[in-house]
Every structure is written in structure tokens, then in C-alpha cells.
A and B are shown apart, each in its own frame.
Chain A
Amino acid sequence: MATSAATIEHVGHAHAAEPSFIRKYIFSTDHKIIGIQFLFMSLLFLLFGGLLAMAIRWQQGYPGSPMPGGGVLPETMAPGGILVPEFYNSLVTMHGTFMVFFAIMPLLVGVYANYLIPLKIGAPDMAFPRLNMASFWIAVPAGILMMAGFFVEGGHSGAGWTVYAPLSANPEYSGVSLGQVFWCVSIIVLGLSSILGATNYITTIINMRAPGMKWFRMPLSIWALFVTSVLVLLAIPILSGAVIMLLFDQTIGTRFFLPELGGEPLLWQHLFWFFGHPEVYILILPAMGMVSDIIANGSRKPIFGYHSMVYAIIGIAFLGWIVWGHHMFQSGMNPTLGTTFMISTMLIAVPSAIKVFNWLGTMWRGNITFTVPMLHAVAFVAMFVIGGLSGVFMASTPVDIYIHDTYFIVAHLHYVLFGGSLFAIFGAITFWYPKMFGRMMNPVWGKVHFGLTFVFYNLVFFPMHSLGLEGHMRRIYDPTEYEFLAGVQGTNEFITIAAFLLFATQLIFMINFLGSLFRGARAPANPWNDNGLEWVAPSPPPHGNFAETPTVYRGPYEFSNPNVEEDFLPQNRKLPGDPEPAALAAGR
């Protein structure tokens, strides 16, 4: 067994000189603490994004009625509790902005890339721990700035999370000036945090895998986080550049996107979606990776087609760069381009289908236990299928003529982001909670939360397909303006009530999450009988993670291996006959 002098020193160091509370929990360079910091920050923003959604749903269900609790809002937002159109536009904008940038992305990447990567590849920490700390502490002011936009004159940006120019670039058209500036600066700052993070994750995975942790022995969660980090590294700078141009158009009079004096509104869309499509794969790939880990664990079987799963992740990431125009079919761009983007978009269904079939293949002839993480992972598959299939409709250019910018799109994106990513996140939080906090979340309440969330979630978002098919547009302050929508206002009301119930249900998760920190059952090192290296370390692991650098002898999914009696076989357990990895033998 290899000994790492540096690692022992590291671990020993933690015992010898105990850092102050500030160094240990606030300005920590430990990837685990930073991951947990991101967790608390993101969950707060998730809650906030959900609150915004409740206001949106109130207005959709009961347009023009005073919103309960709306009395606390200022006159500029909701006089007498009745939302005004400008504020409604800000609500939809900020719901999307907070959920995408401050909830889902940091939950998947900021939390799990940070927490899992060193542990699951057998490293003591990230390649650049101080840079990692900087990543978090740069994200915090970005979040504060984004919140602050609500309180400035003119209110927050109301141009959609996609902030299309010219509406976003000219305060005369939107009535919003400082709010849009705050939005832009916040996104630029957050982008820096993400890019620094991605640099760390990529370097760590390439250079710091423990001996024997070959590329094709890495868990799919790490493969997914690696590929996602490459997407972040390459796509976020495009957004940064575009947002800087937008900021300049708005503040110093440049003309990138404003048609007077030659700017091109469509240039904004091309830039934004060139970032934006890889972005949506950033928002799903880590979820897919973690779901793979959890389904293999819950089925007590190796992942079906591990290599194909890796290639599918890479394929999705690669193809994701050449489909951006499918957000722009009706934009006025050359229709022939539309056809080419349609073909590439149809093709991206293929690697996604591979993954779905392989998750099914993993469960097939397995020995399935319905732990709370497994329930969420299975729901992910079921919901992602719906979200993916609904995507085929909008990939077809002629059908998109009808459903573009309707609630059909809203249904699709929520099936993949909520039914997909968020269920995966709930599952991941529950699965790795014992490792993070040394305690178990309550499984009974976990199942109750899962069941109610699953039911209410589908009651909210499935009917939205139907709304879209009736022609119900997006981002509409008052659907009752239109006779052709009169027949579906009842559906709107139904969705609203289900949404309130969905939101209320999350209280169960909040109480379970927070309460278990203090009252949860103490967790053993490996409560799920899993094979990953993180379960080798104690729950929670000390600074430096491992007393000795682990040595890896096999892949991550050796469940029900006939060579051993237990139904799991950790990656670092040496069986007679297992060769030592070459990296050790070389004695570098």
C-alpha cells in the first residue's frame, strides 16, 4: 500500500495546529467546506427562486388579484398587493436568472464538483485550494449584487433571463437601467468564479487521480463533472464577453446590438445561445453522472454499458456546441440555417437515449432497494424521458413555429431542469449527506417529501404542455387578455394551486435537511455500501481526506461481483491476484 508522506503530513498537520473557526469554516481552503458553503448558499437561492415562482403563479392563476402577502411589497412593484406588469416581467426574469445561475449551476458544480472530485479520485484536496476559496468568495458578492437589483430605481431587469437586446440594452425601451447594470455585473463576476472553479476541477481530475484510478475507472459522476467543467471553461467566457458588450451598449453608448448606427440584435442571440446551449448541458450532465452512481448503488449492479455512458457524456457535450440555433428558429435568421440546426439537434437525442437505455439496463435484473436517493434517481430517469421527448417537438422547425415562446417550452425546460436536475440534486444531497455531515437524513420524511414532490411537480408542469399547445405565450402578465386563451384559464388556476402545494412540500425537505444536522442518526463511513473512494474516508472526512493515499484496483461499479460475498466491492479493496497499479511500481 502506497504511503504518501505529503498526505500524512497534511492530515497530521490538521491535528497539530487546529485552525481558528474563521479559517476552518469561513475562509477555508478545504474543498469539502467550500462545497458545503456552496450548498447553503445555493439552497437559499433555490428557496428564493421558488418564492419568485409563487408570485408568478399567483399572477397567472389570478391575474389582477391582490397577492396574499403582496402588501409588504413597495408601490413600484405591487400597489395594494396587485403585481404591476413591469414587476411581473422582473419576476420571470429573476426566477430564471436565480434558478439557473445561483441555484442549479452552483448546486451541481459548486457543491458536487468541489465535494466529490478529490474524494472520489483519491486526492487530498483540489489542485489549487486557495483559488477554490476565491471561487466561492467571488460568487457571494455576485449573488448580493443580483439581489440588490430589486431595490434600485427602475427595478430589476425585466427582459427575461435571456435578456434579449434591444430591450435589455436601451433603458428607454425597458424602463430599467441600474437594475440591468447590476444584472450584467453580477453575471460577469459570477462567471469569473465559475471559470476559476472549472480550472481547478479540470487540473485536479487530470493530474491528481490516485494510483490505479485510470480514466476508465472513474465514476460517472466524476466523468460528468469533468466534461461539465470543460463546458464551463469554454462557454462561460462567451457569456462574459456578450454581457460586457450588452453592458457597454447600455452605459457607454456602444452599438453592438442596437440597430441605430449598425448594431445587430441577432448578434446578441447568437452569442447568448452559443453560450446558452452548452449551459443547459452544464445544468444536466452532472445530474446524469450522479444519477448513474446512485442507480448502480440502488440496483446493486454495475452500470450497464459504462464505456458507452462515458462516450455519451462526451458526445452530448460535443454536439451541444452545434445546436444553439434551435433557440433561434423563428428569429429572422436565414431559414436554411434552421434546417441545419434541426439536424444537429435531432442527433443530440441519440446519446441521451443511450443513457436512458443504460440506466434501464442497470436496473434490469438488479436487486433494487428503494432508498430515498434511489427514488429520486429513478424519478430523474422517468422525468428526463418526458423532458427529452418533448424536446423532439421543438426540434422540428415547423412545429416550433407554433410552440416557440409558449408554455410548451416552459414545460420542456422544467421537465429537464426540475424533473431532471432538481430531483437528481435532492437524491445527491440525501446520498452524500452522511459523508458531508456525519449524519443521516430521516428516510421516512425523505420518502414523504419525495412522494408529495413527485405528485405535485407533475400536476404543475405536465398541464403546461397543454397550455402551450393552445398557444399560451410565455412571459404574459395577463393571459385573460386573449379570447383564445379563455378556455385554459382554468388550467392556469389548477397549476397555480398545485404549485403552492409543491412549494409548501419543500418545507419538509428544509426541516429534514436542517434538523438532521443536529438530530440525524450518526452515519457510519459507508452507509449505502457503496464502492466509491469517498466512503473509505470517515464521515465526515478530515482535512486531507485520507490517512494514506488509496490505491485503486478496479472500476467503480463492482456490485454483486461473484468473487466476493458482499454485494459491493470498493475500488480500493485489494483481492488476491489484483496487480499493483503501474503508477506505483514506477516509483515516481
Chain B
Amino acid sequence: MDWILPPGASTFAGEIDGIYYLILGITGLAFVIVEAALIIFLIKYRNRPGRKAYYTHGSMKAEVIRTAVPAVVVVMIGILSGGVWDRIKGRDSIPAGAYPLAVHGSQFEWNVTYPGPDGTLGTTDDFSKRNQLHIPVNTPIRVRLTAEDVIHSFFIPAFRIKQDAVPGMEIDLWFEPTQTGEYELACAELCGLGHYRMRAAVTVHTAEGFGRWMTDESQTVAQN
């Protein structure tokens, strides 16, 4: 079965996928060693006529080694992970000047509010779109995530970003897409009967493309 991750399209993918493969390597090795030992023991020490088991209650030395090694390994994984986590989810991790968006999850759609041509949220040229997330490539994007009714979860697999949206809370997250193209945003927290179709289209434009899209959209909004 496939243990390779699908291609990532954000700056997080490198770090997250890296930790994943490190853990895969370590656990994979542990898996092989333990299961191989198990199978070898089952074959080598199976009952045969005249065989007697070796009477022992254990070995403290073996136990200490076999305890210390996993302990050191998992703590090491934890420390490495902690650094990556801080850079992605830490309260101070959002790059200054990140492009601001507001996303409001409700049963069963994602409402994305854009800052409009002035690039600032909360001004009169803001506009919203349903289930459409448009962003420029190679630009840090900041999302203020809110929820209308129940808990939803903002999940873009290709960007390796997931954040629960909680009613009554304003949660900030960020990411930086690295490839243009079409992606999908899914809800990753059971939110009712429409949970399975709470899907938004994510479009990563080139910088110029995004500028053109923004101009077109705000003109359309201004006309209406």
C-alpha cells in the first residue's frame, strides 16, 4: 500500500512531509525489526518433541536498553516536530504583510471574504464569494477563520493545512502556495448532513493573474 504522500503545493509541504518521512523511516525500521523477531521466534522456538523452554524471569539490563532507546528516539522526534509546529501554527508565526482573507464556514459552505483592490480587510471594497478561494502564488496568505453554527475544519490537503473553525472563536492561520493550479478545500470536521459536500474550489493564480482576477471581480461587485 502506498506510503508516499501526494504532491504538496505549499511551503509547509517540505517540512511536514520531511517529518513524516523521518517518522516513516524510524517506525518502518522498528516495524521490520519487531515483526521479524516475532516471526523468527515463532519458528525457531516452536514446540518440538523433547524441547524445553529456557526458564528465566527476564533481564533488567536488556530492559533498560530497550526502554532507553525508544524513549530517546520519540523525544527527538518530538523536539524536531515542535520546531515545525511553531513555524506553522505558532501564535507569532504569521509573516508580516501576508495577504489577508476571511473565511467563514457554515452549514454547508465556505464564504471567502476578499480585501478588494485596496488589500485591506474591513473596508468598503471588500467582497465575498461562496466556495471559491482565489490566491496568488508564492505569497503568504493569512486567513481569519470563523464559523457560523457548528465546528467545521478548513482543510486543503495539497497545502498541508488544516484548522478547525469554531463558532464563537476567531482563529488565524497562514500558508504560502508554491504552485499555480486548481486545488480543493474540504471540511474535515463532521458538521451535519451536508458535511460531505462542503467543498470549495481553490485557484492559485500567478501574481498578474490574481491581479486581473481581483480587478474583474471588484468591477463586477461594484456594478451590482
Contacts and interface: CB of A to CB of B under 8 A. Distances in A.
B188 interface: yes
Given A392-B74, A401-B161, A483-B184, A167 B89 contact: no
Nearest to A352: B70
B163 A335 contact: no
Contact of A173 (B60, B70, B150, B171): B150
A110 B75 CA distance: 37
Interface string A224-260: 0000000000000000000000000000000000010
Nearest to A359: B38
Interface in A299-325: 299-306, 308
A393 interface: yes
Contacts of B165: 332
Interface stretch (A125-133, A518-526, A557-565): A557-565
B58 A392 contact: no
Given A85-B196, A401-B160, A166 B56 contact: no
A405 interface: yes
B166 A266 contact: yes
A369 B48 CA distance: 9
Interface string B72-104: 001101100110111011110000000000000
Contact of A166 (B41, B149, B158): B149
A356 B34 contact: yes
Contact of B74 (A349, A369, A390): A349
Contact of A363 (B3, B15, B45, B149): B45
B42 interface: yes
Contacts of B210: none
Contacts of B166: 265-266, 331-332
A319 B74 CA distance: 15
Most buried by B among A264, A404, A465: A404
A365 B45 contact: yes
Contacts of A89: 190, 192-193, 195
Interface stretch (A25-33, A467-475, A509-517): A467-475
A84 B196 CA distance: 12
A361 B53 contact: no
Most buried by B among A86, A347, A358, A402: A402
Contact of A349 (B55, B70, B187, B194): B70
Nearest to B29: A389
23 contacts: A166-B167, A167-B151, A173-B150, A301-B53, A305-B60, A330-B162, A335-B86, A335-B91, A336-B90, A346-B77, A357-B63, A365-B54, A367-B53, A385-B30, A396-B20, A398-B16, A399-B81, A404-B188, A405-B188, A466-B1, A471-B6, A475-B190, A481-B199
Given A173-B191, A399-B23, 9 more contacts: A158-B193, A166-B149, A259-B167, A299-B53, A349-B74, A397-B82, A405-B155, A469-B3, A474-B188
